[in-house]
Structure 1
Amino acid sequence: MTTPLVFAHRGASYDLPEHTLAAYLRALDEGADGLECDVRLTRDGHLVCVHDRRLDRTSNGHGLVSARTLAELDALDFGSWHRADAPADDDPLDESHTRLLTLERLLDAVRSAGRPVRLLIETKHPSRYRGEVERKLVALLRRHGLAEPRPDHPVQVTVMSFSPLAVRRIRELAPALPTVLLLEVLPRWWPVGRLPFGSRIAGPGVDLVRNRPRLVPALRAAGNSVYVWTVNEPADLELVLATGVDGVITDRPAHALARLGR
């Protein structure tokens, strides 16, 4: 059985604030095969790594990410909210590593890692900017030479979305980019095993894998790869490893790597 890839979900986000440079650098240090991030567009057209539509949970700001400019977002604190009960003698985080992270800055960090790294980029929908999210993303990847995967390049990008239309846009804009259709539930219209718009990777949630034990075998039998999110608990990790998944997306990459003996 092939050893699955381990992807750090929003970085090493169990230990450090999600979507911060600190969390991603920790995941790279721990040996994660890849990183996962969510992207949204700011009001002035920049791609930033933020999961929620609103700022309230992960920063000291309020309101919609999409209504703020990059400069406005950059003034916010995206680190202090996380694990406020951490011991007082913990080393303080570098403030520059806990501010807003742009996708461009994350790409720079990945390219500076000095080893092969896979990057999973999820475009978030619904969005007031609709397809502009994918257009901006592909344009940025082209500037970095990452829109057409090359076997000899250390950075390999895959684009993910829960939106089949977003997946279709990526396939139209950059046909060579691998795509993942993320799944929280199984649509009634969906023939299990087949993925739309040229996707060859399915991204079911771990609850879906638990509740539909035939899902992963059906997907793999149809020739698809399977990346499962978000696998944090030991029992869930054992479950997905037993099904033979190709990728494990987790907030705790060091734990998954240790279980795999790596």
Structure 2
Amino acid sequence: MQPAIVAHRGASAHRAEHTLAAYELAVEQGADGLECDIRLSKDGHIVCVHDRTLTRTSNGRGTVSALTLDQLKTYDYGHQGEPAELLVLDTLLDLVKGTKVELFVETKHPVRYRNEVERKLAQALKRHGLRDQIIMMSFSATAVKAFRDQAPKIRTVLLLDRLLPRVKTGKLPPYADYTGPGVHLLRDDPGYVDRSRHHGHDTYVWTVDDQQDVELCRDLGVRFLATNAPANTRRLLGDNLSA
């Protein structure tokens, strides 16, 4: 079975990341899932911004958590002459609601508000009536556990940038459903996917754009493949399968 294609920060190879346009394009391109990163504004609103600061992804300056929602909204989050507004999580939840598209929500750490973002996320999902479409993720095991405590029926991913001894066996803590290695880890240790599967954990892999990496994930039986270019990755999977 082909991996499910997850649009990493939307179709971010073609539109500014974490903008509504990037996510709408990903849906048009047939992405099975969307991925976003979330942080809290100073006044407690959930916003879709990857970095701790605004410098890279907007024309603004400052730390996301030190600015109010109204202040964050004054900046432009587009690029190449295509202006874009700040994306709040509520808008993205409305986009996927009533569709078959899954939404992978990554909480960023460390942050000044600790696990407040996980609590706010659980509240937002309850308010929108969303559960089965949502997968929560974090590189912080503490964050994944905190979210599981808040929303025990929503699936989770423990993201990994290293295969430390406690996870190299493929076994995860009980509050993590899927394992989330970077594709660089699978290049070095392709057997990790099977070891994880043996322990009941399917694999979410980030961030996969190159043909060789796409082939690797397909051949290993990866379940979720995060990519910046959903349409091209779908084409590569199709070409490989028909060859």
Q: TM-score, normalised by structure 2?
A: 0.95
Residue 96 (structure 2) aligns with: 110
Residue 127 (structure 1) aligns with: 111
Residue 202 (structure 1) aligns with: 179
SS of residue matched to 1:189:
helix
Contact 2:3 2:217 (8 Å CA) reproduced: no
SS of residue matched to 1:190:
helix
Residue 51 (structure 2) aligns with: 52
Distance in structure 2 (CA, Å) of the matches to 1:19 and 1:121: 12
Deviations 1:64-92 (A, max 9, x none): 11101100111101102xxx4xxxxxxx6
Identity %: 51
Matched to 1:57, the amino acid is R
Distance in structure 1 (CA, Å) of the matches to 2:183 and 2:238: 22
Distance in structure 2 (CA, Å) of the matches to 1:183 and 1:190: 9
Taking a change above 3 Å as real, the CA distance of residues 7 and 218 of structure 1, as seen in their structure-2 partners, is same
Q: How does 1:1-262 map to 2 (within 5 A)?
A: 2-80=1-79, 84=80, 93=82, 95=83, 98-111=84-97, 115-146=99-130, 148-149=131-132, 156-190=133-167, 192-261=169-238
Unaligned runs of 5+ in 2: none
Contact 1:54 1:62 (8 Å CA) reproduced: yes
Distance in structure 2 (CA, Å) of the matches to 1:136 and 1:197: 22
Aligned length, in residue pairs: 239
Contact 2:169 2:196 (8 Å CA) reproduced: yes
Matched to 1:258, the amino acid is R
Q: TM-score, normalised by structure 1?
A: 0.88
User: What is the alpha-carbon root mean square deviation over aligned residues?
Assistant: 1.4
Deviations 1:102-158 (A, max 9, x none): 0001111222xx631100000000010001010000000000011x43xxxxxx000
Residue 153 (structure 1) aligns with: none
Contact 2:196 2:203 (8 Å CA) reproduced: yes
Unaligned runs of 5+ in 1: 85-91, 150-155
Contact 2:172 2:179 (8 Å CA) reproduced: yes
Contact 1:167 1:197 (8 Å CA) reproduced: no
Distance in structure 1 (CA, Å) of the matches to 2:32 and 2:120: 26
Distance in structure 2 (CA, Å) of the matches to 1:260 and 1:206: 16
- State the 1:4 CA deviation: 1.2
